Amino acid sequence: MNNINIKITTPFWLNYFKLIKNEMLPYQWAVLNDTADIVIEKERDAAYIPSQKSHAIENFKIAAGLKTGHHYGMVFQDSDVYKWLEAAAYCLKRFPDKEVQKITDDLINLIGKAQESNGYLNTYFTIEAPTRKFKRLYQSHELYCAGHFIEAAVAYYEAVNNKHALNIACKLADHLCHTFGNAPNQIHDYDGHEEIEIGLLRLYKITKNKNYLNLAHFFLYERGKDPEFFHKQVSADPDKSVLIEGMDNFKASYYQNHKPILEQTTAEGHAVRVTYMCTAMAMLANEADDTAILEAAKKLWQNITQKRMYITGGIGSTVIGEAFTTDYDLPNDSMYCETCASIGLIFFAGNMLKNDINSHYSNIMEKALYNTVIGGMALDGKHFFYVNPLEVNPAICHTNPSKSHVKTTRPAWFGCACCPPNIARLIASLDSYIYTIKNNIIYCNLYLANCCTLSVNGKNIAFTEETNYPWDGNINFTINTARQFGLGLRIPDWCESFTLKLNDKNLLYNIKNGFIIIDRNWSVNDQIELILSMPVQIYTSHPSIIADSGKLAIQRGPLMYCLEGVDNGSNLHLLYLSKNAIFTEQQKNSALGNIITLETTAQKLCSDFNWHNHLYYNARHIKNKFIPQKIQLIPYYTWGNRGENEMRLWLNEYNS
Amino acid sequence: MNNINIKITTPFWLNYFKLIKNEMLPYQWAVLNDTADIVIEKERDAAYIPSQKSHAIENFKIAAGLKTGHHYGMVFQDSDVYKWLEAAAYCLKRFPDKEVQKITDDLINLIGKAQESNGYLNTYFTIEAPTRKFKRLYQSHELYCAGHFIEAAVAYYEAVNNKHALNIACKLADHLCHTFGNAPNQIHDYDGHEEIEIGLLRLYKITKNKNYLNLAHFFLYERGKDPEFFHKQVSADPDKSVLIEGMDNFKASYYQNHKPILEQTTAEGHAVRVTYMCTAMAMLANEADDTAILEAAKKLWQNITQKRMYITGGIGSTVIGEAFTTDYDLPNDSMYCETCASIGLIFFAGNMLKNDINSHYSNIMEKALYNTVIGGMALDGKHFFYVNPLEVNPAICHTNPSKSHVKTTRPAWFGCACCPPNIARLIASLDSYIYTIKNNIIYCNLYLANCCTLSVNGKNIAFTEETNYPWDGNINFTINTARQFGLGLRIPDWCESFTLKLNDKNLLYNIKNGFIIIDRNWSVNDQIELILSMPVQIYTSHPSIIADSGKLAIQRGPLMYCLEGVDNGSNLHLLYLSKNAIFTEQQKNSALGNIITLETTAQKLCSDFNWHNHLYYNARHIKNKFIPQKIQLIPYYTWGNRGENEMRLWLNEYNS
């Protein structure tokens, strides 16, 4: 990113930053050190997932030779630490803090001690299986963990200008450059979980070491050339013990290994893996001016967002493989919609914007952020969803094992703890997603109050943005630098009318690729006033989506709304809403924070029949009637914060 | 059963008997002998289920010492042979055939040779694990297989009056009586899959050997007294290898082992197991006049049929554990609804009627039989469903692994092949479900054309029933014996008007427990004419069933109807039906046999919007309209016989 300094001032996000600094990071640090008093929950009923403790820091101490013992946890347990470190780095940039920096510096020292002399870094293999390094790439997550460490090191360098982590990262990356490649003595292939490519490309941007760019290119372009690669590696490994139980039955497409990436036109397999792969494709396209990989990334973007995405920005329609299924298969009560997958979608969108300015990337980024991502975290910052359903019936989730992965309230931590630190690092680095700077134009992807100084064509531009977004659409920019540049204002896809003024006078405009570009020679104190009309919107879905057919979804601004039982009683499936419903907006400061709730009158389907012991009955003898019922909708991201109850986002349509 | 001779003459069922005799039994015999040219399908994507061949007869030859080699297949592979033998016995009773009897006699000889000298009979343990007999009862299915052999032996004895199989069965049962019980040197517990109890109770009825009654009583009453029993047995087994992969994680309730059976008030766990347990409970109640167990069975009956049953008579809401979940959780596209579970429900109903004359047992028996059970078999008699969905979208079944258990057309055979021979033995013994005789009254549970001679209070009663049921409700009885007895005519739950005449004169009647009892001194040639009005009925569901909410199901007589894509195009979820719809009945002789189809006009939801690349859109800008579309419904049992396509039973309700 070209941003030099962005200071976010929106209360909505300041609250999250404080949560991250004061709650999430200390809490997650305690978890990683096994000093938090919590119940660690399996994210699904898989026997192989350990859940007694994190042990992640202890693993590093053992690998570093400071303690004795065995590795504990997932084979990719190290990545929890790296993602925490990355989030801590972003946080240190915003809130410098010597005590925190002492912790992170010590952690980096520890990681350095755990690194082997040749640069190899992975506590599981160092402690438990030194002879099996890089021999089970589909399960080992060695390159995945390496990628996360490199990302953390780059972030730490950018945050505190300390090169220690970066040096460890370069030593690790150099080891990988030595080990992987097309030469006869090198390993010819790639990791089962994309991530190293992102790390290498970030490291390349900082170091300009072409080896890192070339290795990322190699990993991406090798992928899928031989769909049998992982099986061949397993056959060649004399040690037949598996690293992760249950991963042997997945098909090549689970790993996006079914065909070369340039030939992939549909999003297949594990949703997080897909988005990480696509993010790296978009990054490589940008760094290497690779139009072929950009076109491939666009196809995957279109398939995901036009055929396989929930209205919350959630992706992944099945728990089995946490994966995509097929176009328009979007069940609301059995889906996966992993928090990390929506985070990955934001990474993907952010990097596509650097290649291809178009507001549809920003729109989806906003949708995923304000719904699935922040919904993945409780309002206390200490409880998290892995799975983000659009419809929940607690009795069914507890008794139907096909839905046992759908938690009805947010657990404290997971045995496979990818999501909590991923939320932390995304939100802590939110400033890097607000603007895209290209060709002397600053494009505003996300609206939120901030004061910033950005570098445009090597010159600093300062301005201030004031807004109470996402609660209203009034946005004011005050320019603080007199200079010629373009300001690109996104008109969100949900917005149907707006007014735009420059220094209090209406401005003529064109919308191009979803942005209004105001390109002029700005003066200090120039004022832009953009008022995005933010009424309650009612959405319907593509006719091929069976699960949403005959249903409506309520949105206001970027926020999706839902019903909870605590406000509306049980049997939410009996409530019907007209698309002509009139909503009242209520500003409320409640257990859910300072939010806007929506109230309207729905129609509850009632029958005059005493069902008693009947399951089915002759419809012609039953008079159904609709009885008006006041309902209250809350922002989707706030659901599940008031105990266990029913929740529903898509409401039946009432044809009045 | 007290029936002496029932000759079914309805073309509908004669066709099935011919299918069983001419297609199913020879075909299944070829499969069991590995001489059929078929693809054996895994019934779900479980790696542990073998699917290359049946090998079931070969296992007996090896156990008998006639061949060398290893056991192949499921640990309960023997039961496929026993269920085939039982079906063959019923068929021999109806169609005596020396060639077939040569095969069955030889098979019984083979089974006798495979039996150990102490009476033990199970090819897996004899061949592979003689030291582990009865040491892993939760997985071993040893008593389950024994029960199936005993059932087959009883059926064979009743069919051909040959005691060879019965002698083997008694020797086996005696061995079990010796091995299991409360004495210190006996095994104190029971099988993971109920079935032996049914076998023992049938054997008791024939032999009057009280030991068999007592052992059935013991098995039933021990169940659930110690929910930890199975785990304790596994701990005590020095050999830690499992018999069936994937069964270790099931809870006690999977085995109905979570509490003593008298305390069980909800149907929990594996649906087939539940129905077999309940069948045995009803049988024991009848044989031993056990009112406590009868009351417990009634509670389970009510829970199943009033809270946890599909309108097709299918049961089991989830593939995981093939199990019940919770009240009103009845998803239509991801359920299990195993064919065997509905067969078990019929066993349960038939035996409850012997204790408690009430037509609700007969109604459910009829519902399960005419919908899920015969729907479990293709019209060619050679392809079978294990899972019976109420809604199918082929693209989703192929790509969403949460629905990979839902087959879109009937496979030829399964690695776990419980269902095909179970259908055969049920249909082949259909005559035993038609009437229940109690207190000098003959209750008609099922209507179908037949000539019969029944034994009532030791006296023979002969009559003839003529009807074209299930296609129309005109039923005529001609009495052929002059005697005092009662005839109980069931008024089906779907029937709302009927006329009843005795010798052409209207008859006054009362309905008691769903039956009209005509108790009189009959003369030869007395005529009863019962005309059940059989219009198309439209059903709605209990408001707590989320999956059926706002939907209607179409029924005519006992048959549920459904839509298929081949008749009605794709996107069946966009079709809406008014509950005031008028149907035209069409008698058709087509690829689906000689059936009645229903035609009506539905409303197809169409929008004026070009959805193109949109997934979601502002509903207020889209004009939806309903366009009338002629639709054709076919009997549910005939779906999936014309290639792969969409299917839907519950149709959206159109509020006109």
Chain A nearest CA to B624, separation (Å): 10
Cβ within 8 Å of residue B31, ≥6 positions away: B38, B40, B54, B413, B417
The interface predicted TM-score (ipTM) is 0.94
Q: Give the pLDDT band (50/70/90) at residue A382.
A: confident
Residue B589 pLDDT > 60: yes
* Nearest-10 Cα torsion for A262, A266, A272, A273: -30
A419 catalytic residue (yes or no): no
Type of residue at B172? L
* pLDDT for residue B246 is more than 90: no
Instruction: Name every chain A residue with its beta carbon within 8 A of the beta carbon of B321.
Output: 401
Q: Is the pLDDT score of A528 beyond 90?
A: yes
Top residue of A317, A391, A540, A615 to mutate, by most chain B CBs within 10 Å, is A615
Tell me the C-alpha distance between B274 and B44, whole Å: 21
Q: What is the mean pLDDT of chain B?
A: 94
- pLDDT > 50? residue A393: yes
Please provide the size of chain B in residues. 656
Count of Cβ atoms closer than 10 Å to residue B643 Cβ: 11
Task: Kindly state the average pLDDT of the residues B479-492.
Answer: 97
Cβ distance A599 to A631 under 8 Å?
yes
Please name the amino acid found at residue B436: T
Q: B334 vs A553: CB contact, 8 Å cut-off?
A: no
| Residues ≥6 apart with Cβ < 8 Å to B185 | none
Q: How far is CA A470 from CA A21, A370, A498, A595, B613, in A?
A: 22, 9, 15, 10, 26
pLDDT for A47 equals: 39
Q: Residues A319, A387: contact at Cβ < 8 Å?
A: yes
Q: Do A65 and A115 touch, CB atoms closer than 8 A?
A: no
**In degrees rounded to 5, what are phi and psi of residue A77?**
-55, -35
Q: Count CB neighbours of A67 within 10 A.
A: 11
| pLDDT exceeds cutoff 70 at A270 | yes
Q: Give the active site residue among B418, B419, B444, B562.
A: B418
Q: How far apart are CA A394 and CA A648, in angstroms?
A: 12
Give me the CATH topology for the region A3-434: Glycosyltransferase (1.50.10)
Nearest-Cα residue of chain B relative to residue A552: B619
Are B578 and B603 spatial neighbours (Cβ–Cβ below 8 Å)?
A: yes
Q: Is B174 exposed, middle or buried (0-12, 13-18, 19+ CB in 10 A)?
A: middle
Indicate yes or no: CB of B614 within 8 angstroms of CB of A306: yes
Peptide bond into A331 cis (omega under 30): no
With CB atoms and an 8 Å threshold, state whether A579 touches B619. yes
* B355, B280 contact by CB (below 8 A): no
Residue of B nearest to A336 (CA): B402
Mean pLDDT for the stretch of residues B369-397 = 95
Please pick, among A86, A142, A197, A322, the residue that the annotation labels catalytic.
A322
Residue B612 has a pLDDT of: 87
Instruction: Tell me if B501 sits within 8 A of B507, measured CB to CB.
Output: yes
Cβ-based contacts of A250 with chain B (< 8 Å): none
Q: Is A522 exposed, middle or buried (0-12, 13-18, 19+ CB in 10 A)?
A: buried
Nearest to B378 by CA among B642, B590, B22: B642
With 50 as the cut, is the pLDDT of residue B49 above it? no
Mutate to test the interface with B, among A398, A408, A546 (most CBs of B within 10 A): A546
- Residue A340 CA: distances (Å) to CA of A259, A309, A439, B101, B204: 24, 14, 32, 64, 61
A613 touches chain B (CB under 8 A): yes
- pLDDT tens-digit series, residues B176-198: 999 999 999 999 889 999 999 99
Q: Calculate how close chain B gets to A539, using CA atoms only, in Å.
A: 4
Task: Identify which of B82, B84, B31, B28 has the alpha carbon closest to the alpha carbon of residue B54.
Answer: B31
Distances (CA, A) of A284 to A24, A197, A213, A299: 32, 9, 8, 16
Q: Where are the domain boundaries for CATH 2.60.420 in chain A?
A: 439-532
A305 touches chain B (CB under 8 A): yes
**Nearest CB to A611; choose among B305, B401, B542:** B542
Buried b (16+ CB within 10 A) or exposed e, B50-71: bbebbbbbbbbbbbbeeeeeeb
CA distance B576 to B5: 48
Residue with the larger pLDDT of the pair B515 and B2: B515
Residue ranges matching CATH 1.50.10 in chain A: 3-434
Find the residue in A nearest to B302 (Cα): A613
The average pLDDT across A136-150 equals 96
CB A457 within 8 A of CB A389: no
pTM here is: 0.94
Nearest to A535 by CA among A474, A605, A585, A479: A585
Residue A121: band (very low, low, confident or very high) from pLDDT cuts 50, 70, 90: very high
Beta-ladder partners of A500: A530
**In the prediction, which pLDDT does B413 show?**
64
Please tell me if residue B613 touches chain A, with a CB cutoff of 8 Å.
Answer: yes
**In B51-97, where does DSSP find H-type helix?**
56-63, 78-94
Query: Residue B381's Cα: distance from chain center in Å?
Result: 16
Interface of A with B in 42-71 (CB under 8 A): 45, 47
Tokens, residue B196: 């032996």
pLDDT at residue number A611: 94
pLDDT of residue A42: 53
Optimal mutation site among B42, B402, B608, interface A, most CBs of chain A within 10 A? B402
Does the pLDDT value for residue B3 go beyond 60?
Answer: no
Contact A542 B615 (CB under 8 A): yes
Cβ–Cβ contact A334 with B under 8 A: yes
Which tens digit of pLDDT belongs to each residue from B157-173?
999 999 999 999 999 99
Cis before A470 (ω within 30): yes
Confidence class of residue A159 from pLDDT cuts 50, 70 and 90? very high
**Tokens 């690695």, residue?**
B415
Architecture of domain B439-532: Sandwich (2.60)
Look up A366 and say whether it is catalytic.
no
pLDDT band of residue A1 (cuts 50, 70, 90) is very low
Give the 3-state DSSP-derived string for A440-493, with helices as H, strands as E and coil as C.
CEEEECCCCCEEEEEEECCEEEEEEEEECCCCCCEEEEEECCCCEEEEEEECCC
Residues 222-261 of A with CB under 8 A from B: 249
Q: How far apart are CA B59 and CA B67, in angstroms?
A: 9
**DSSP state at residue A22:** I
Residue A616 forms contact with B (CB below 8 Å)? yes
Exposed (0-12), middle (13-18) or buried (19+): which is A193, by Cβ within 10 Å?
A: buried
The HSE-up count of residue B58 (CA atoms within 13 Å, CB side) is 15
Which burial class, exposed, middle or buried, applies to B504 when counting CB atoms under 10 A from its CB (0-12, 13-18, 19+)?
Answer: exposed
The helix (H) or strand (E) run that includes residue A560 is strand A559-564
Res. B45: pLDDT tops 70: no
pLDDT band at B532 (very low <50, low <70, confident <90, very high): very high
Within 8 A of B394 by CB-CB distance, chain A residues are none
Which position has the token pair 């073998």? B50
Q: What residue in A sits closest to B551 (Cα-Cα)?
A: A619
Q: Which of A91, A177, A416, A418 is an active site residue? A: A418
If you search the block for the tokens 């706002």, which residue do you land on?
B550
pLDDT at A36: 77
Q: A476: Cβ–Cβ under 8 A, 6 or more apart, which residues? A: A465, A466, A467, A527, A528, A529, A530
The per-type count for chain A, helices as H runs and strands as E runs, is 21, 25
Judging by beta carbons within 10 Å of its beta carbon (0-12, 13-18, 19+), is residue A610 exposed, middle or buried?
A: exposed
Indicate the SS3 state at residue B534.
coil
In this prediction, what percent of chain A has a pLDDT beyond 90? 88
pLDDT tens, position by position, B71-116: 999 999 999 999 999 999 999 999 999 999 999 999 999 999 999 9
Residues within 8 A of B (CB atoms), A 380-399 only: 393, 395-396, 398-399
Given pLDDT bands bounded at 50, 70 and 90, which one contains residue B411? confident
Facing A399 at nearest CB: one of B325, B540, B605? B325
In the chain, the amino acid numbered B403 is: K
Pick left, alpha or beta for residue A504 (phi over 0 → left; psi -120 to 50 → alpha; otherwise beta): left
- Residue A318 has, within 13 A of its CA and on its CB side, a CA count of 23
Please check whether residue B533 touches A, CB under 8 A. no
| Per-residue model confidence as pLDDT tens digits over A7-39 | 999 999 999 999 999 988 998 899 899 987 765
H or E element that contains B205: helix B196-207
Best B305, B326, B400, B636 member to test A by mutation, with max A CBs in 10 Å, is B400
**What pLDDT sits at residue B39?**
59
Q: DSSP string of A521-532? A: E--TT-EEEEEE
